[in-house]
Amino acid sequence: MKYVSTRDKSAPVSAAEAILTGVAPDGGLYVPEIIPEVDMQLMSNREHSYFPQVVETIIKMFIPEWSEADISALVGDTYAEDQFGDHPAGVEQLNPYIEREYLLRLDQGPTGSYKDYALRLLPGLVRQAAKSLNRESQWLLLAVTSGNTGNAALKTMADSSDLALMVFFPRGGLTPLQVAQMVYLTGPNSYVSASPLTFDQLQAELRECLTDQELREVLQSHDVGLTTANSLNFARLIPQIAIYFHAYGQLLRQDKLIPGETVNLVIPAGNFGNALAAWYAAQMGLPVNRLILATNRNRALLDIVKHGRVRPSRKANHTMTPGMDVLMPANIERLLYAVASPPTKYAEFFEAGKDFQLDKKDLKTIGDIFSVGAIDEEPTSRAIRRIYDQTDYLVDPHTAAGMDIYERYQNQTKDETKTLFVSVASPLRYVRTCGVSLFGERASQALSDAELTEKLAIEAGLEDELAKWQGEEKGVLPELSAGNMQRTILEQLGVYHAEPEAVAEAEA
């Protein structure tokens, strides 16, 4: 299978090449030429009750040129019990009295985030891609994070001898615990930097680095390849697609669904990777009624999906749901390439970073499967408490936002379709927000982060997770200013040489 750029100015490449470059030379994102179809009867059999087997099946569909033995070896013990528990990506009924609502637990991985599922597999995919193309050199992976990607990537790649990782994040856009955990997880092969830039600005700089052929040549001369750990890389989407087939299969085997019965998926959405994975699953044959998205007061996805307005020129606000603090969700480019005719209808706007409006036909196509709602911080905080009181589940603010948006959707539509809520992160990742929701602001402020984390864990029965939340401060993190990502990469690899004019200016 070949992969093509969403901007159609680069030649089609193999899956391995797409994984190892991250984005196309023309700045577009790689997508498969053909979306494969899934045999749902096969996917729901007993053999596929085992999550790694589902992952292997989906990898084979998107990378058919790799052997089953190679795929099985790279998946290996990625989702081992000591990292993901007894039931990776398990489904649980949310309320014993409501038969239509279920929780998809993606919050129980090694860093308590759904990003663990994709990022634990990424090193294996990169190594196998390099092996298949005879490029077994060192690999540098770049990542921009609003919290969860950075932690999951650092945990995954700790102590790797052949992989290095550089993580950049918007200063003020993460919780103190997320920053402390990233500092704690930073090792000899990794680097973490804060920046005054927004997530969108950082992601734009990262894409520029990936398409800079001179930078690639410099790194290649030092036997270093360059790719990304963000969902710009299609490799990130493959295990996320597998998650939705695995979830549906569980409901079938629990006799909660009959074969072919449709489901709703409720997804808190930021950079649109998880939502796009669900859309791909639906295109592949997963019986989906609606994909219900939640966003915050930045309203990016509400503007795009409901009103057809794509407005990257605005500046995002920091909120209690930092994973949604995105104004230009990168994976929207993949969705619009798939639904528009011609596919590159909007490519020039993405390339220029300009605001634009979707035409009515494309907006209707998107609206036929997606619903979306936006929620402010006060209602999100109330939702965390309400959900805990009603179900005994303490959920993070992103998941709570999704559940609140669904409640509004269900009240308006009276839709009785069985529904899966995607639980994207442990509530302990957002200890201040969840603490205030449960204990009140005064009681929470009286406790340190460590004390509040322990109190919250005891209250919600999450004591076993406390070992994940180690963190430490190591003084001031290095700061990345605008336009300096490439220089920082070269400096960290010890191959940066300042231009003579810059040296003379510094000496003056």
Domain count, the chain: 1
CATH number of domain containing 226: 3.40.50.1100
Residue 203: inside a domain, yes or no? yes
**Does 407 fall in a domain?**
no
**80 lies in some domain:** no
pTM value is 0.95
What is the 3 state secondary structure string of 235-253? HHHHHHHHHHHHHHHHHHH
Q: What tens-digit pLDDT sequence spans the chain (508 residues)?
A: 999 999 999 999 999 999 999 999 999 999 999 999 999 988 877 767 899 999 999 999 999 999 999 999 999 999 999 899 889 999 999 988 899 999 999 999 999 999 999 999 999 999 999 999 999 789 999 999 987 999 999 999 998 999 999 999 999 888 888 888 898 899 999 999 999 999 999 999 999 999 999 999 999 999 999 999 999 999 999 999 999 999 999 999 999 999 999 999 999 999 999 999 999 999 999 999 999 999 999 999 999 999 999 999 888 889 999 999 999 999 999 999 999 999 999 999 999 999 999 999 999 999 999 999 999 999 999 999 999 999 999 999 999 999 999 999 999 999 999 999 999 999 999 999 999 999 999 999 999 988 999 999 999 999 988 877 666 665 568 999 999 999 999 999 888 766 544 434 444 4
**Distance in angstroms (rounded) separating the CA atoms of residues 297 and 376:** 5
Question: Which domain, by its residues, includes 204?
Answer: 123-234+473-495
Phi, psi (deg, nearest 5) at residue 120:
-70, -25
Judge whether 396 lies within some domain: no
Do residues 327 and 299 lie in contact, with contact meaning Cβ atoms separated by under 8 Å? no
Q: Return all residues near 275 (Cβ < 8 A) that are at least 6 apart.
A: 267, 269, 291, 293, 301, 331, 370
CA distance 460 to 112: 15
Is 283 a member of any domain? no
Q: Where are the alpha helices (DSSP H) in 316-468?
A: 332-339, 347-352, 360-367, 377-391, 397-413, 431-439, 441-445, 449-460
Alpha-carbon span 166 to 10, nearest angstrom: 26
Residue 106 located in a structural domain: no
Decide if 190 is inside a domain. yes
Please report whether residue 186 resides in a domain.
yes
